[in-house]
A and B are shown apart, each in its own frame.
Chain A
Amino acid sequence: MKKYHPDKFAGTDLEDVAKEKLQEVNEAYSMLMGNNSSQRRSYSNENTSYQYNTRQSDLQQVRQMILAGNYYEAERMLMNISVRTAEWYFLNGIILWQKGWYSEARSNVQTAVNMDPTNAEYRSTLDRFNNSFNMYQAPSGGKVHTDDFCDLCTALYCADCLCECLGGDLIRCC
């Protein structure tokens, strides 16, 4: 279940796919549990942080479009707004990130943070961008990069193999 959690995919191209997958899993789960009311609230990703009031109603509309997943329209509209406030840079960052333009997305949100350092939303988004690599881990749970005791054994084993290649032997038993 954890791997499909839509929060993990928030703001990326696969957000809706992840939601759909979770829906499937939830439905399968309620079937198994003999509970056929699959209309049970499965997971609602009402990300309220996107929905607070701003004075610029245009930017608010852009926000609504992003929330609805209509990134294309949101971008088109945003580009027509000439006053570039912190909010503008922030929303542009969100849109760019979803497109896969990670570098420019980050610098836009960084600009928003610089212009309005007190805004918690901008700051947390910047943190989310900067920490996205923490998500990179094999589903089987294997750590990607660790130094541990196994390495020592591997080292000995490899050394032994190399010695044997050259005609010697480091460890007799293997």
Chain B
Amino acid sequence: MFGYVQPLKPELKIKEYACYRSYYCGVCKALGKKYNAISRMTVTYDAAFLALINSSVMEKEPIMHLEKCIVNPFKPKPVIRDHDGTDYAAAINVLLMYFKLMDSWKDDKSLLSLSSSILINPVVKKIRNAYPDMYSSIEEHLHSLSKVEKEGISSMDKASEPFAKLMSVVFPYPKLDNMNRRILAWMGYNLGKWIYIMDAYSDIDDDLKSNSYNAIIAKYGRSLSAEEIRSKSYDEVKFVLEVCLSEIGKSYELLDIKRNSGLLENIVFLGLFNRTQKVLNDGGEINGSIQGAGSKSKCHRGRNQECLQEAGEEISS
């Protein structure tokens, strides 16, 4: 369920890309400093976006430092340090990862999940004390999420509601002013719904095979093939995804953005749109792959645009 929210790299300015990385590294370093080294393994691109958007409406200017790390031991990279935005995103990142691990332990009895969740357990306790309301709220929404799965809900709106609600809770930094918090909550709601449906649509093949719950399969029928389900549900999925995108865009316009508007606009209006197109057009073939890996041979005639995107991605990575 992670990794959908990213910029469209070929359209980024190089300094915007550096800025994006500085938030990503900022979240990672915040994890190391405030919690422990193991929690740094959990850093995601979604957390970088969370840090970025919250920092962009805060009064306090984030400060960049040039620092080395394990991944880049020789060349120092810009990193945002000691900022509420990155610290908050780090906390949420750990919480969501923790719940995800607990979930896969319950579902698949995966020992790896259990041992990892035990390792980050002390960190989670710390965060729980810092944000007690948020913790119980996430727990509650995840509970209704698993209820949706158990009951086999066949409405996309109903099925995506718990995750959308969860995102609306974690998205706004609690200390922001009322107005920005409300806007970010609505943005989070629509982003959550978008992620949930994107995930369901690209997982149709896998979920059919493994006979697991999927809202789209539940609605359009398990007896059909993945291809038939995709073509039958296409209109509804496209409609909901696009409305979510336009609501995210409108919320963005209402925010008091103080910095990084170029980068944010890229993510909100190009990155999310590009992802949507990819999932709608390629169905299950793209499984949330980061940086377009695994689709290198897909340069068909008449799809110049796509080839250019991929070439650009390779140059920038």
Chain A interface (Cβ < 8 Å from any Cβ of B): 3-4, 8-9, 12-14, 17-18, 20-21, 96, 100-104, 106, 129-130, 132-140, 142, 144-145, 147, 151, 154-155, 158, 161-162
Contact = CB atoms under 8 A, between A and B. Distances in A.
B249 A135 contact: yes
8 contacts: A3-B254, A14-B183, A14-B254, A21-B179, A21-B254, A96-B157, A129-B243, A136-B249
A103 B158 CA distance: 10
B249 A17 contact: no
Contacts of A129: 243
A134 B250 CA distance: 11
A100 B164 contact: yes
B240 A102 contact: yes
B317 to A, nearest CB: 13
Interface size classification for chain B? 35 or more
B35 interface: no
Contacts of A12: 186, 247, 250
Interface of B: 10, 155-158, 161, 164, 179, 182-183, 186, 189-190, 193, 236, 239-240, 242-247, 249-254, 261, 265, 268-270, 273, 304-305, 308, 311-312, 315
B308 A139 contact: no
Nearest to B8: A144
B268 to A, nearest CB: 8
Contacts of A96: 157
A135 B308 contact: no
Contact of B179 (A17, A132, A135, A161): A17
Contact of B273 (A14, A20, A144): A144
Contacts of A101: 157-158, 161
Q: Is the interface of A mostly helix, strand, loop or mixed?
A: helix
A154 B308 contact: yes
A140 B179 CA distance: 22
A12 B54 CA distance: 22
B240 A103 contact: yes
Contacts of A162: 311
B305 to A, nearest CB: 7
Nearest to B265: A138
A162 B251 CA distance: 39
A9, A133, A145, A162: most-surrounded residue (chain B CB, <10 A): A133
Most chain A CB neighbours (cut-off 10 Å) among B155, B240, B246, B265: B246
A3 B257 CA distance: 14
Contacts of B243: 102, 129, 132-133
A14 B157 CA distance: 19
Given A100-B189, A133-B246, A145-B273, A158 B239 contact: no
Contacts of A136: 242, 245-246, 249, 269, 273
Contacts of B251: 14
Contacts of B158: 101
A155 B309 CA distance: 10
Contacts of A137: 249, 269
A130 B150 CA distance: 32
The 9 closest A-B pairs by CB, nearest first: A101-B157, A133-B242, A136-B246, A138-B269, A102-B243, A158-B311, A135-B246, A136-B249, A138-B265
